[in-house]
């Protein structure tokens, strides 16, 4: 396949080497307008807005991934394999599984557990454990210390295929004390990065606590998770 792809109309070179990927297109727009200098819209197919600009002199892109593993699977695959992107940093919302996590705490996904069948396409003779790039994890730890971010945890995410889960699976995952939060994209991102020999990391902000009922509003999710955004921008590689 050549570019443009069925989902991205950008030209070769329009994306920086690092792309930040929120799920929400409006969050991508907010980041571009708030943090990037001289940002240019490079993709808007299906309203999936992608921008490229500079942050502290460093060229960075931001584009939405949409919701769920299939959507993240499509966009990250095309960025890694057709547009020369070397690193993708997911910046999204997550639900707390660990009982001590609070709203707006930050979770860095060192690994990603999942109930998805996404891995089956690789025809591996066993189970595969999707993990983040060690270089990006280490850099996130270093930058969080520099920025004085204290409400941050490193551990496993649970990438679920279901938002409305009839089986109420979170109670079972809660038994594993290093599975910190649930979201819906990280596993596909980590698998695509591994297959393409690229780098990936998911940095998530706790937007709700399913076991207590606490939750941020949709507007808050879109525009107030600035600590996560700034951390990702600092971690981004030029």
Per-residue pLDDT reduced to its tens digit, 184-208 = 999 999 999 999 999 999 999 999 9
Q: Does 158 score more than 90 pLDDT?
A: yes
Structure tokens at 73: 């699977």
From residue 127, alpha-carbon distances to 137, 178, 180 in Å are 23, 19, 21
Q: Residue 183's pLDDT band (boundaries 50, 70, 90)?
A: very high
Fold of 18-235: Rossmann fold (3.40.50)
Q: Which long-range contacts (CB under 8 A, 24 or more apart) does 160-169 make?
A: 160/114, 160/115, 160/116, 160/184, 161/68, 161/69, 161/114, 161/115, 161/116, 162/115, 169/115
Q: What share of the chain is helix, strand, coil (3-state, %, to 5)?
A: 35, 30, 40
Rounded Cα distance, 5 and 38, in Å: 25
Q: Residue 224's pLDDT band (boundaries 50, 70, 90)?
A: low
From 7-11, 90-94, 136-140, 152-156, the region with the lowest mean pLDDT: 7-11
Query: Each residue of 89-147: pLDDT tens digit?
Result: 999 999 999 999 999 999 999 999 999 999 999 999 999 999 999 999 999 999 999 99
Rg, C-alpha atoms of the chain: 17
Rounded Cα distance, 189 and 21, in Å: 10
Rounded Cα distance, 191 and 144, in Å: 25
pLDDT number for residue 45: 82
State the chain's mean pLDDT as an integer.
94
Per-range mean pLDDT, top range of 44-58, 133-147, 166-180? 133-147
Cβ atoms of 201 and 209 closer than 8 Å: no
Q: Calculate the dihedral angle through the C-alpha atoms of 114, 120, 123, 125, rounding to the nearest 10 degrees.
A: 50
Angle at CA of residue 131, ends 130 and 133, nearest 5°? 140
Query: Each residue of 12-31: pLDDT tens digit?
Result: 999 999 999 999 999 999 99
Cβ atoms of 85 and 198 closer than 8 Å: yes
Residues with catalytic function: 208
Q: Would you kindly state where each structural domain of the chain is located, as residue ranges?
A: 18-235
Cβ atoms of 126 and 113 closer than 8 Å: no
> 3-state DSSP call for residue 154?
strand
Rounded Cα distance, 137 and 158, in Å: 17
pLDDT number for residue 217: 83
Q: Residue 1's pLDDT band (boundaries 50, 70, 90)?
A: low
């Amino acid at each position: 396949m050549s570019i443009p792809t069925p989902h991205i109309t950008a030209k070769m070179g329009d994306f920086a080497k690092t792309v930040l990927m929120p799920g929400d297109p409006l969050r991508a727009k907010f980041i571009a307008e708030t943090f990037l200098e001289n940002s240019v819209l490079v993709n808007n197919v299906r309203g999936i807005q992608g921008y490229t600009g500079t942050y502290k002199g460093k060229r960075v892109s931001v584009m939405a991934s949409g919701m769920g593993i299939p959507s993240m699977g499509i966009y990250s695959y095309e960025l890694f394999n057709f547009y020369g992107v070397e690193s993708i940093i997911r910046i999204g919302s997550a639900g707390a599984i660990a009982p001590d996590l609070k709203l707006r705490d930050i979770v860095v996904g060192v690994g990603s557990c999942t109930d998805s069948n996404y891995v089956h396409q690789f025809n591996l003779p066993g189970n595969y454990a999707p993990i983040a790039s060690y270089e990006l994890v280490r850099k996130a730890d270093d930058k969080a210390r520099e920025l004085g971010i204290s409400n941050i945890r490193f551990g496993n995410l649970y990438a679920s295929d279901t938002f409305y889960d009839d089986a109420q699976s979170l109670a079972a995952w809660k038994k594993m004390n290093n599975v910190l939060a649930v979201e819906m994209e990280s596993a596909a991102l980590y698998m695509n990065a591994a297959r393409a020999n690229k780098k990936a990391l998911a940095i998530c902000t706790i937007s709700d606590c399913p076991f207590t009922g606490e939750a941020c509003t949709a507007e808050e999710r879109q525009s107030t998770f600035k600590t996560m955004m700034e951390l990702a921008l600092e971690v981004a590689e030029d």
